[in-house]
C-alpha cells in the first residue's frame, strides 16, 4: 500500500479530538532503494515519536537496571503478586519483605518486556506495523506488546472514553511513549 493511502486510512481512524494535532509523516528515498526512509509521529507539529531518533524527549532505556532505578516508573503490586512470592518462599519470609520481593520480580519482568519491545520497535517498519493495525481487531492492538500498535490503538476513535479511563493501571506498565499518548488522549476528553 502506498504511503499516502496508508496515511489517509490512519487519519480516518484518528479520534476526532486529535484530528489536526496528531500527524503521521513519512519520507522515502526514490533513488536509494537500500534506504528505508523515515517515519515518525508529530503532535502539534512537534516530532514526538521517531523510532530511530535518540533526541526525542521520550526515555529510551538502555538496560534493565535503568528501568529498575527509574523513580518515575510506578509499578503497582497486587495481592496475587505477593501471594506468588509467599508460595515460592514457603511462608518463611516476613510480610514487609514479601512486598519488596514481589516488586523486584515485577520490575524485572517489566524491564525485560520494555527492552524487548524497544528492540523490536527499532527494527520494525512503521508501514508494516500500521498495516497490521489496520487489518486486525482493535483489542489485539491494545493488548499487544508492540509499542506502535498500542499507540495507534490509543488514539483510535473506536476506543471510547470509558475504555480509556479503565486502562489507567495497565498503562503504567507500558513504555513511556505509550503513556505519553495515553495522557494526550485523556487530556482531550
Q: Domain range holding 153? A: 3-62+115-187
Q: Flag whether 86 is in a domain.
A: no
For 139-170, write each residue's pLDDT tens digit. Answer: 998 888 888 889 999 999 988 889 999 988 88
Q: Flag whether 167 is in a domain.
A: yes
Cell numbers linked to 10: 490512519
Q: Flag whether 106 is in a domain.
A: no
- In Å, how far are 8, 11, 103 from 3, measured between CA atoms? 8, 12, 43
Burial of 65 by CB count in 10 Å (0-12 exposed, 13-18 middle, 19+ buried)?
Answer: exposed
Give the CA-trace dihedral at 60, 64, 66, 68, to 10 degrees.
Answer: 120
For 61-82, write each residue's pLDDT tens digit. Answer: 666 677 777 777 777 788 888 8
Enumerate the β-bridge partners of residue 120: none
Per-residue pLDDT, 182: 92
Q: Flag whether 164 is in a domain.
A: yes
Q: Flag whether 82 is in a domain.
A: no
The H or E element that residue 100 is part of is helix 95-123
On whether the CB atoms of residues 77 and 59 are closer than 8 A, the answer is no
Tally of domains in the chain: 1
Q: Flag whether 108 is in a domain.
A: no
Written as tens digits, the pLDDT of the chain (189 aa) is 677 788 888 888 888 888 888 888 776 555 555 555 567 788 888 877 776 544 445 555 666 677 777 777 777 788 888 888 888 888 788 888 888 888 888 877 777 776 666 655 544 467 778 888 899 899 998 888 888 889 999 999 988 889 999 988 888 888 888 888 999 999 888
Cell numbers linked to 23: 500527524
Q: Flag whether 104 is in a domain.
A: no
On whether the CB atoms of residues 164 and 150 are closer than 8 A, the answer is no
Amino acid at each position: 500500500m502506498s504511503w499516502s493511502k496508508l496515511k489517509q486510512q490512519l487519519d480516518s481512524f484518528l479520534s476526532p479530538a486529535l484530528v489536526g494535532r496528531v500527524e503521521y509523516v513519512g519520507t522515502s528515498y526514490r533513488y536509494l532503494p537500500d534506504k528505508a526512509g523515515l517515519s515518525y509521529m508529530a503532535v502539534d507539529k512537534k516530532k514526538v515519536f521517531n523510532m530511530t531518533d535518540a533526541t526525542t524527549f521520550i526515555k529510551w532505556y538502555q538496560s534493565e537496571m535503568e528501568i529498575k532505578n527509574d523513580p518515575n516508573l510506578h509499578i503497582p503490586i497486587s495481592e496475587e503478586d505477593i501471594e506468588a512470592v509467599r508460595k515460592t518462599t514457603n511462608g518463611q519470609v516476613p510480610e514487609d519483605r514479601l512486598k519488596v520481593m514481589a516488586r523486584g520480580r515485577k520490575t524485572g519482568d517489566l524491564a525485560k518486556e520494555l527492552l524487548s519491545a524497544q528492540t523490536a520497535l527499532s527494527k520494525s517498519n512503521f508501514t508494516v506495523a500500521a498495516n497490521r493495525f489496520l487489518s486486525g481487531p482493535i483489542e489485539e492492538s491494545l493488548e499487544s506488546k508492540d509499542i506502535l500498535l498500542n499507540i495507534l490503538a490509543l488514539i483510535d476513535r473506536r476506543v471510547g472514553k470509558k475504555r480509556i479511563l479503565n486502562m489507567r493501571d495497565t498503562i503504567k506498565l507500558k513504555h513511556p511513549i505509550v503513556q505519553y499518548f495515553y495522557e494526550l488522549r485523556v487530556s482531550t476528553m
